[in-house]
Amino acid sequence: MRRPPKPSHEDILWLADYLPYRLAVVATRMLRDASRIYKSRRNPLTTAQWRTMAILANHEPLTATELCGISMLDKVAISRALAQLQRRGFVARHRLHDDRRAHHVTLTANGWRYYNELVPEMKRQEQTLRRLLRNGEAEALLMLLERFDEFFGAKGRA
């Protein structure tokens, strides 16, 4: 079987210039670096557990469905993370009055304590990244990321 001819230089999708690929690679590297903090503790967290706790610290109370939407994790990952966090005493579930099947999830005192121990290390790690940027670049980057987020949010509603 003959191989098709190699595309011309212009027809190749050069990954070094392909924005979705470059953002994904950098984001993965950043998240791996951050994960060293919560995975290296005596009582480590998984990435899904950390993400769940961090989101709850920003937005509690939330349902599992709301956590899925914010975290970009699937239902199975969130369900597993919540079950593990509940077993560890880091989150509590409270039945909703108007929907007996759904629960609001909040951090417990132990959850807040664990979270508060991690935050200074996470902030130091972020400051290292911010020092790579010149004046105004962090704000510009966050503005651009917000623009992409709004674009994909609107696209998802369409």
Q: Which pLDDT belongs to residue 5?
A: 83
What is the C-alpha separation between 50 and 15, in angstroms, rounded? 30
Which strand (E) or helix (H) includes residue 104? Answer: strand 103-107
Q: Which residues contact 56 (CB under 8 A, 6 or more apart)?
A: 62, 67, 91, 105, 106, 107, 111
106 or 2, which is more confident?
106
Write down the domain spans for the chain: 11-128
The pLDDT of 60-73, averaged and rounded, is 94
Please give the class, per CATH, of domain 11-128: mainly alpha
> What does the pLDDT look like over 121-138, one tens digit per residue?
999 999 999 999 999 999
**Mean pLDDT in residue range 28-54:** 95
